[in-house]
Chain A
């Protein structure tokens, strides 16, 4: 079983829609959690960190459920520019593991 698992998608949604991604991790000792965004053939870039209390950055909301070992990302009022692959990332000490990513495509 992979340490970090995501639904690969693709998600194909209209502009303005709300879309949610989920991610599960298997190691309960994991300490920090992140969502990254990756555009085609480019390096990943940090979208946001994920905290137990939940956190919001504009149209993006991230949630962490440690009991269920589950992380989520919600994108509201999606834009064409949100089309990308979204990577769930888990850190345990110095080890950082990426999920395989969820592809999102926003259509006009």
Chain B
């Protein structure tokens, strides 16, 4: 049981390049989340997915797209990276909508856009 895994751990992009951040969980959780955290700031919700096949915008969705193709995986895509997207990206999951339990977080992806 690996919990929530994220790849890659580190990435450097040039402005305008595209990439996909991968997230997977093996806990059979329904809801999954993508956050970004800028230096000295809290986590800001980019997108979330309450269940397989559904996605919703969070606080800061602009410049990102997401895909929840199955229950395990929730990917975050940057189509044309910008320096303002330099951040640490965390993926998280929770068991189900009714549960007040904790979110399980991945270790984060540190992205730098030059």
A44 touches B44 (CB 8 A): no
Least distance between A40 CB and chain B CB atoms (Å):
11
CB nearest to A43 among chain B residues: B105
A95 touches B105 (CB 8 A): no
Stretch of B12-20, B63-71, B72-80, B96-104 with 4 or more beta carbons under 8 angstroms from chain A: B96-104
- Contact A94 to B97, CB < 8 A, known contacts A44-B43, A46-B103, A101-B42: yes
A101 touches B45 (CB 8 A): no
Interfacial chain B residues near A70, Cβ < 8 Å: none
Q: Does B41 contact A (CB under 8 A)?
A: yes
Q: Report how far A88 CA is from B33 CA in the complex, Å.
A: 17
Residues of A within 8 A of B (CB): 3, 6, 31-32, 34, 41-46, 49, 87, 91, 93-101
